[in-house]
Structure 1
Amino acid sequence: MSTDDGRELFLFRLIPPRADFAQTMTDIEEHTMGLHTTYWQDLLAAGRVVVYGPVADPEGVWGLGVLRVADRAEALALAEADPSITAGVNTFEVLEILGGTTG
């Protein structure tokens, strides 16, 4: 289902390589996650992201992003271009939000 501007909403879930990733990142992983944060800040500034950030799951922190894009293909392209994905640090899931409403 589309938002008022014709774009669709998708949930991006960033899946870390281990449950304690947030506490045990190596220097290289920490650098990569800095690039990841900059990437998502840029997407937010461009209006392609509604919200993003780490989720304090008791099973292990993971990343959440809500994308506002034309279609699933665009959501997947943005996910695949995330520096933490291209570096092979994290994996991801992209799921459509059905009937989502934004402010």
Structure 2
Amino acid sequence: MNLFLVRLIPPRADFAQTLTDDEQHTMDLHGTYWEQLRNGGHVVVYGPVADPEGVWGLGVLRCADRAEALALAEADPSVEAGVNTVEVAEIMGGVTG
């Protein structure tokens, strides 16, 4: 299995502070989705990153290849709903503890 960095990119820098009710509902679905991925053994770590430029989401997935990681990332309800966008990159030679 390989490791992949998933970066969940919100629609605006203050997204975490200014969620609408619809966005909050979508982000609740997002959290449930990532918890299911964690329970399924795909997730090494995930959570929001307190970037001074604006909070964004980080996930590290354990997958067979980039296609699988990209499919999982794009199936995130917040991405499917068009709230967030996503970037996926392989962690070359990644090692876990």
TM-score range, shorter chain: over 0.9
Structure 1 match to 2:20:
26
Candidates 54, 66, 69, aligned match of 2:63: 69
- TM-score (normalised: structure 1): 0.93
**SS in structure 2 of the partner of residue 28 of structure 1:** helix
RMSD in angstroms over aligned alpha carbons? 0.4
Q: Deviations over 1:8-67 (max 9, x none)?
A: 000000000000000000000000000000000000011101000000000000000000
Show structure 1 runs of 4+ deviating over 4 A.
Answer: none
**1:86 lines up with 2:77 in the alignment:** no
Aligned pairs, how many?
Answer: 97
Of all paired residues, the percent bearing the same amino acid is 78
Aligned equivalents of 1:60 and 1:89: distance in 2? 15
Gaps of 5+ in 2: none
Gaps of 5+ in 1: 1-6
**SS in structure 2 of the partner of residue 77 of structure 1:** helix
Q: Which is higher, the Rg of structure 1 or of structure 2?
A: 1
Q: Which residue type is aligned with residue 30 of structure 2?
A: H
